[in-house]
Amino acid sequence: MSVLTRDEAQTRAQLLDVHRYTIALDLTTGDDTFDSRTLITFTTGAAADTFIEIKPAELRSVTLDGHPLDPASLDGTRFPLPNLTAGDHELRVDAAMRYSRTGEGMHRFTDPTDGETYLYTQLAMDDCKQVFPAFDQPDLKAVFDVSVKAPESWTVLANGVTSYLPDEDRWQAAPTPPISTYLVAVAAGPWHSVRTEHRGLPFGIHCRRSLAPHLDADAGELFEVTRQCFDRFHEKFEEPYPFDSYDQAFVPEFNASAMENPGLVTFRDEFVYRSAVTDTERQTRAMVVAHEMAHMWFGDLVTLRWWDDIWLNESFAEYMGYQICAEATRFTDTWTDFGVARKPWGYDADQRPSTHPVAPEGVEDTASAMLNFDGISYAKGASALRQLVAWLGEKDFLAGINTHFARHRFANATLADFIDSLASATERDVHAWADSWLRTTGVDTLTPVLTPGENGVRTLTVDHTGSRPHRIAAGLYDLDLGDNEGHLTLRERLHLDVPQHAPLPIGKRPALLLLNDRDLTYAKIRFDPDSYDTVRKNLSGLPDPLTRAVVWNALRDAVRDGELPPAAYLEAARTHLPRETDLAVVQAVLAFAAAQVADRLLPAGERPAALATLSALCRDLLRRTEDGDNPGLRLIAVRHFIDVAAHPDTIAAWLADGTVPGGPELDPDLRWRVLARLAVLGAADERAIAAESQRDPSATGREGAARCRAALPDADAKARAWDALFATDTAGDLSNYLFTATAQGFWQPEQADLLQQYVPRYFQDAVALAARRGPAMADAAGRHAFPLYAVDAEAVRLGEECLRDAEPVPALRRRLADQLDDLARALRVRRH
């Protein structure tokens, strides 16, 4: 399949001015294909050849300015438009298009609970060719006029307000303002909808009918968060919300967390909670609502010109999502969650072979661009913007942003345009800041150096490995042992710039000197020896959760870099998590301790002791929450106790009783979690899985059953799961979600001997699957089906051989390179 290059896009943008797409979709033609009829009006500035992208099941006709063209001229996904004269043109295309089961193009899903079918589009980055023909690049914006014929009981949602026209038996969406092709959205099905109005605009939330009771239970919170964020954006931005409505559709089998389609944001429907969740998970959902709303301005109103500026969309929305939540909603501590759950994503990505600048210059085509939707474009970019606000001040930052909106509304912009807008609002050298922060790779490291002086007065300098300037706070904490609890009290928070020009006097030595207190920059932090000793003994005595998040991140980084033994991290978790009050910190530390330290970084022989330590820690948390005052903490402890259980007795009793003693009752998610662990331990069988499937026939239940079946420690079960993942019978291909669930169940650290034969097979079969099923499934195969627990030199050798000789598609190549780097890192940590 050909991909669009930057040079081709620039040439086409100079030639064309696209005015309008009039698109008629017919979703009543069968289960496999739908009809797509499109009229495109455009102008060419000179005589030239060009092309349009389309990927049809059947191309019935193409007519240019009333003259038929030969459908057989289609070359892959490109239809040539030769010998265009300068002036106005009309292109008409009639095609049948295939439904997708991979979350790309027009995805089709049938709910196993009630048999109802739902469709939705996901067109980023270049998948609109699977729904309608287009000059598919972000800087050829146009008006979109969309109508849809759908089954009688369905509702159709789109970028603009939709109306059913009974005389014409179709749904008509209001024409959009000029938007990019990748932002066009349609969602059709028998949706359950809850609607309201705010500031004169219709607001709606939508989900499939089987989730209706759960959406209704959360509708008040969802609308409250939406209104709060909407109002706060209008306090910050001078440009009002630029579209005619705000719908949020929670759709099945969605590959991303959400997509910022103007007027119709789509979310994965796991955000409609059918089981108990923690307040931190609700906070994450609120942040995603804010993140996607930020895109209405930064991404939709003003859009990148080419995909090398993905960060202009994602970094900005990531930063604003956390900041707006903290300012406008009840979730006031979002930056702690960012620090422990999101920033490590950026730190890890920035130390792998695939690292790239936040604003890369070498994005040559759409396939390369797709790879950059990663921890660097999101977490690192947001961290860079947070550092920019700390350096520039929020007033000047927002002044520059509003200038940017005014200059480029309903148009396209580049990094240079953005920096020029910021520079217009300040005397600081924003261009130099951008060069050092946005055009470089890697993670700087900051280490404090304390030098004794006269009269016990010490000075602080910072040993800086890296090239970026940093504006940070250094927290000086003194130890208070008066109550024998080891509390640390903030003496002073010093603000300094790195590199320093002179040593900074700090007075007497603090028990803990913490660089990057309040987490305002993006850098790895190290401790001086005395400060580390304080952390080891008194981490939980720090008064602020964001400060504790910085410390936990520093310990995490030190483990990954081979500077701190993994067992020391487990010891810190065992000592300090029982007194931790922030749910995001507890969740992040337990996740790293189990999934990385116990499962990968410790030698296999030390894993049982690590699981015992984590089980004991979870029991401590369960005892602490017996009074019911902290159900979120208790839920985290229950989940992780299940995941690290080395023996089936306790969790099997929970499943039989339907409850954890003292609560909570086992809801569907917890029941499937227990059953999956029992399957891994050989304490569940097909009969138990079938019984649970009958109890929970939902889509989530179907995924849970697939995960459990793949986890069974039985050679036949593993063979069946492998065939389901990689067999070439396209009629039986798993959907994206069922593929992921099966892959998650397949590889288990307890089953290394049973699975050894599949490690070399993976590197053959994944390459074939990725080539056959496209980028989304290639990414899933590299992310979820990779043999994570084969931490040995042979697995690394096989992977490197695959990269060298097998020519995996770009999406899989990127995943494999990163996974192999993580394997090699784990090997180094084990040998340290």
Q: What is the pLDDT of residues 527-548, one digit of tens each?
A: 999 999 999 999 999 999 999 9
User: With pLDDT > 70 as the criterion, what percentage of the chain qualifies?
Assistant: 99
Choose the weakest-confidence range: 203-212, 498-507, 640-649.
498-507
pLDDT class for 201, splitting at 50, 70, 90?
Answer: very high
CB 378, CB 292: distance < 8 Å? no
Identify the pLDDT of residue 186: 98
- One of 260, 292, 580, 703 is an active-site residue; which one? 292
Is a pLDDT exceeding 90 seen at residue 45? yes
Q: Across the strands, what pairs with 142?
A: 179
pLDDT per position as a tens digit, 9-25: 999 999 999 999 999 99
DSSP 89-126: EEEEEEEEEE-BSSSSEEEEEE-TTT--EEEEEE-TTT
Tell me the one-letter amino acid at 635: L
pLDDT of residue 380: 97
Specify the range with the lowest mean pLDDT, choosing from 62-71, 493-502, 554-563.
Answer: 493-502
pLDDT, position 674: 98
Both tokens of residue 85?
Answer: 């004269």
pTM: 0.97
CA nearest neighbour of 192 among 141, 116, 133: 116
Q: Residue 571 catalytic?
A: no
The 8-class DSSP code of residue 130 comes to G
pLDDT tens-digit map of 102-142: 999 999 999 999 999 999 999 998 999 999 999 999 999 99
Cβ-based neighbours of 198, under 8 Å, separated by 6 or more: 223, 226, 227, 230, 246
Q: In what helix (H) or strand (E) does residue 556 lie, and over which residues does it extend?
A: helix 545-560
**CA neighbor of 530 nearest in space, from 473, 443, 445, 452:** 452
CA distances from 662 to 615, 626, 658 (A): 18, 6, 12
The tokens for 823 are 């394997």
DSSP 3-state of 602:
coil
β-strand partners of 474: 494, 515
CA count, 13 A, side-chain hemisphere, 535: 24
Q: What is the pLDDT of residue 482?
A: 67
Q: What's the mean per-residue pLDDT of the chain?
A: 96
Check residue 679 and give its pLDDT. Answer: 98
Residue 731 has pLDDT above 90, yes or no: no
- Which pLDDT band holds residue 271 (cuts at 50, 70, 90)? very high
Using one digit for the tens of pLDDT, what is the confidence trace for 414-468? 999 999 999 999 999 999 999 999 999 999 999 999 999 877 789 999 999 999 9
Average confidence (pLDDT) over 185-209: 98
At 719 the pLDDT is: 97
466 phi-psi bin (left φ>0, alpha ψ -120 to 50, beta other): left
Q: What is the H or E stretch that residue 83 is in?
A: strand 78-84
* pLDDT of amino acid 370: 87
pLDDT at 387: 96
Bond preceding residue 578 cis, omega within 30 of 0: no
pLDDT mean over 321-350: 97
Token readout for 552 is 């936990």
Residue 670 tokens, joined: 């917890």
Tokens of 149: 């014929």
383-404 pLDDT tens trace: 999 999 999 999 999 999 999 9
Q: How confident is the model at residue 485 (pLDDT cuts 50, 70, 90)?
A: low
Residue 435: Cβ within 10 Å count: 13
Count of Cβ atoms closer than 10 Å to residue 806 Cβ? 16
- Residue pair 140/184 in contact (Cβ under 8 Å)? The answer is no
How far apart, in whole angstroms, are the C-alpha atoms of residue 795 and residue 801?
10
Q: Retrieve residue 784's tokens.
A: 């979820």
Number of H helices, E strands in the chain: 28, 28
Residue 586 reports pLDDT greater than 80: yes
Q: What one-character-per-residue DSSP string does 613-636 give?
A: HHHHHHHHHHHHTTTSS-HHHHHH
Quote the percentage of the chain above a pLDDT of 90: 95
Question: Burial letters for 89-124: b for 16+ Cβ neighbours within 10 Å, e otherwise?
Answer: bebbbbbbbbbbbbbbbbbbbebebeebbbbbbbbb
Distance (Å) of CA 326 to CA 28, 248, 281, 530: 45, 21, 15, 34
Q: What is the mean pLDDT of residues 335-349?
A: 97
Residues 6+ apart with CB under 8 A from 180: 137, 138, 139, 140, 141, 303
pLDDT at 484 over 90: no
If you ran DSSP here, which 8-state letter would residue 733 be given?
P
CA 94, distance to chain mean position in Å, is 36
Q: Is 187 helix (H, G, I), strand (E, B) or coil?
A: strand
pLDDT of residue 817: 97
Token output for 98: 């295939």
In sequence order, what are the beta bridge partners of 109?
A: 118
DSSP for residue 63: E
The three-class DSSP label of residue 349 is helix
Reported as type and span, the H/E element at residue 367 is: helix 366-370
The full DSSP string for 477-495 is EEEE-TTSS-EEEEEEEEE
Residue 163 has a CB neighbour count (10 Å cut-off) of: 11
d(CA 832, CA 827): 9
Helices 279-295 and 212-236 pack at an angle, to 10 degrees, of 50
Mean predicted confidence (pLDDT) in 725-729: 86
**Residues with Cβ within 8 Å of residue 601, at least 6 apart in sequence:** 559, 566, 826, 829, 830
Separation between Cα atoms, residue 570 and residue 340, nearest integer Å: 16
Q: Give the mean model confidence (pLDDT) for residues 482-498.
A: 87
Q: How many CA atoms lie within 13 A of 102 on its CB side?
A: 20
Using CA atoms of 813, 815, 821, 823 in order, give the dihedral in degrees to the nearest 10. -120
Q: Which of 88, 45, 90 is CA-nearest to residue 63?
A: 90
Would you call 346 helix, strand, or coil by DSSP? Answer: helix
**Is-cis flag, bond preceding 499, omega within 30?**
yes
pLDDT, tens digit, 9 for 90 and up, residues 555-571: 999 999 999 999 999 99
Can you tell me the mean pLDDT for 264-272? 98
pLDDT at 729 over 80: no
The amino acid present at 737, given as its one-letter code, is Y
Angle at 437 between CA 470 and CA 375, to 5 degrees: 105
Q: Give tens-digit pLDDT for 280-310.
A: 999 999 999 999 999 999 999 999 999 999 9
pLDDT, tens digit (0-9, with 9 covering 90-100), for 169-179: 999 999 999 99
Whose CA is closest to 290, among 254, 256, 316, 255? Answer: 316
CB atoms within 10 A of CB 378: 25
Within the chain, what is the greatest distance between any pair of CA atoms? Answer: 92
Question: What is the predicted pLDDT for the residue at 453?
Answer: 81
Q: Which amino acid is residue 44, in one-letter code?
A: T
Bridge partners for 411 per DSSP: 302
Amino acid identity, residue 555?
Answer: L
